[in-house]
Structures are given as structure tokens and as C-alpha cells.
Copies of this chain bind each other. A is one copy, B any other.
């Protein structure tokens, strides 16, 4: 279907939606466009939708939540060759796909093999974000972790995360200067750093250090206040290294790239910006979307609303940084990290409940989902 329903069809649907019955849609709820925004009300509000081969893009956006209801999909026997040859930039990140990205951990490897991650995180009142990111990073399989944090963070970090080394900042309360980056294969910046002017200056200086090339080319993840600062200083975009992974939630995305009329437009904008800046944009949400520099866009299949809590994002940043430290390619790290983050959320919800789980549970659960 390519255009919205009108006239008497629309009236029938309006009527259907007033009934108390459970409505099951096959393929697509009547009136819903599969691949673009469907305005207006002339769309069946299905309780449940069964679809074929793979989920339609329309299923993956909040704007259609009420129309699609719970959905599932199954094969109708399309030949796999046909399926694989259908070129599309849109992919659904399944257990199988994620499994292909996992690399073995070989016997004679040592902690150097698995890289050294650096997290620049935390500020006065937000040290917990650093703790959560560090815990997730430690459960990512990385060999070594250093957390650079303001001096006030020393005790919280060394008590709560004894496995991580602590690199003390110059100031007590916020990030002002970047340590030598030579030892690190991956850097994650932003969790709980706040937006002090000195921190903004530190972030700009960091970008210039990266640009100088003296620090090698470590993988980079930007999150939270690093993104908010970037949104305030759009001229820094030219300093952001290629293949950087950024992980905005919808509000941060809007601050960075502006408003859009609907979820399809937002997804298009996300893909365009990923190509324009040569970066990976992970837009967090129910079906987290990962836009790649080559135009591809993956939608995640794991996770649950129990993760809609402060600190979940810090866990993702720590995990992604840990994967990059192990020299996973940025695309593989982005996909695997998002998938595992959701899987850990599902594990935590199974152990506690969606309501009762915390971001701390989520970070712990990262350690338990690798042998999924």
C-alpha cells in the first residue's frame, strides 16, 4: 500500500476501531503504509499483527505502536536467495546476525590482546554514571580499563569498581584535561560529565588531540553530555573522527540534528547524518536504530521498557567502549553492543522484573549474556 486510505474505506476502519474486539492484522494493519509515515486516523488499530519474512519498518517506530500492536513475523517460504538479493539499507538485528559478529577468545591470548579502554566520565553529583559505564565495560571482555574522572570521584570508583584503574582529573568536580591517550585502543566520553564551560573546553581540546593524530586512532564513543556539548558547538563536527559511535536518545538526537515531522523522517535524517559525518548513530529506543556511514540502518530486536531508566545509557557506552578496545570494527561493536545491551536488559527483567530492575542490574547482566 502506498497511500493513505480515504472515503468509505476510512469510515469502515473508523468503525472497526470503535469495537471492543481484538483485531488481528495479517501482513500490515489495513491503512498502514509499510515504509513511510501514515497520517490521520484511517488505520486499523490492531491488537496483534502477523507479518512475513521480516518486520516492516513501520512496525519499529513509536508513532505506529497503537496501530501494529504486538507483532510477530514468520517465513512464508520465500527463497533465501531472493530474500538475500533484495537490496535494502534496512536490517533487523537478530540473534543470528549478532552471533556472526562474535569473535573467539583464544587460549594463548593475554590482557593486552583485549585492549585498554578509557572512559572519561562523571562529575560531582553524577559519579554513578561513571560507575555504571565502568561496570559494563569490565563485563565487555576488555583487557584493561582506566576511568578518568574528577578528583572527587576517586573513592566511588576505587570502591565500587576495583578492577578499573583511576586516572585523577585536575579539578575536584568536573573534567578539564585529557590524559595521554597513547595507551588506549578505545575511548568513551560523556557519561555524567556535565556541561561546565571547562568541560566543554576539555572536549574541544580532546577533539584536537585526536585530530593531531599523535594519539593513534583509538575507537571513540560519544554519549550524553558530550553530545549535548557537541549540539551547542556545531562547528566541532568537523573535528569528530570518522567511525565515531554516538548514542543519543531522542531528545539528544533532536538537539544535535533538529526536529522532524515524524519517525520516518527522523530515521531518514539519522541515516543522512551518519553518512554526512562518517559516523555510527545509535538512536536509543524500543527498537534502537543503528545508522552506519555507508547508509545501512539496523533495528535492534532485543530489550524491553524496563531499561527506560536513568543509567541504562551509561551501560551501553561502557559496553561499546569495551568492544572497541578489543578491536572490534566500529560497525561490529555498534551492532553487537546494542544487541547485547538489550539482551542484558531482557535477562535483568527475567530475574527481577521490568519495573523492579535497575541500571546496576543491567550492568551486571551484561556479564551473563555472552553465551546466549
A284 nearest CB neighbor, chain B only: B110
| Cα(A27)–Cα(B354), bound, Å | 41
When all copies of this chain in the complex are counted, the total is: 4
Q: Which residues of B contact A366 (CB under 8 A)?
A: 356
Partner of A368, one of B132, B145, B162, B356: B356
| A residues neighboring B (CB under 8 Å) | 62, 65, 105-114, 124-129, 131-132, 138-145, 152, 154-156, 158-168, 249-251, 285-286, 304-306, 308-312, 352-361, 366-371
| Cα(A156)–Cα(B159), bound, Å | 5
Q: Which residues of B contact A154 (CB under 8 A)?
A: 124-125, 152
**Nearest CB of B to A75, in Å:** 24
Judge whether B132 and A356 touch: CB under 8 Å.
no
**Nearest CB of B to A62, in Å:** 4
Judge whether A127 and B162 touch: CB under 8 Å.
yes
- A131-B158, A163-B132 given as contacts; is B250 within 8 A of A110 (CB)? yes
Which of A285, A305, A371 has the most chain B CB within a 10 Å cutoff? A305
A326 nearest CB neighbor, chain B only: B355
| Cα(A125)–Cα(B128), bound, Å | 17
**Nearest CB of B to A178, in Å:** 16
- A141-B355, A305-B106, A358-B367 given as contacts; is B114 within 8 A of A162 (CB)? no
- A166-B126, A308-B143, A360-B163 given as contacts; is B353 within 8 A of A108 (CB)? no
| Cα(A170)–Cα(B225), bound, Å | 25
Partner of A162, one of B162, B360, B369: B360
Q: Which residues of B contact A152 (CB under 8 A)?
A: 154
Q: Which residues of B contact A250 (CB under 8 A)?
A: 110
A360 nearest CB neighbor, chain B only: B163
**Nearest CB of B to A159, in Å:** 5
Partner of A311, one of B105, B126, B158, B163: B163
Q: Which residues of B contact A163 (CB under 8 A)?
A: 128, 132, 309-311, 358-360
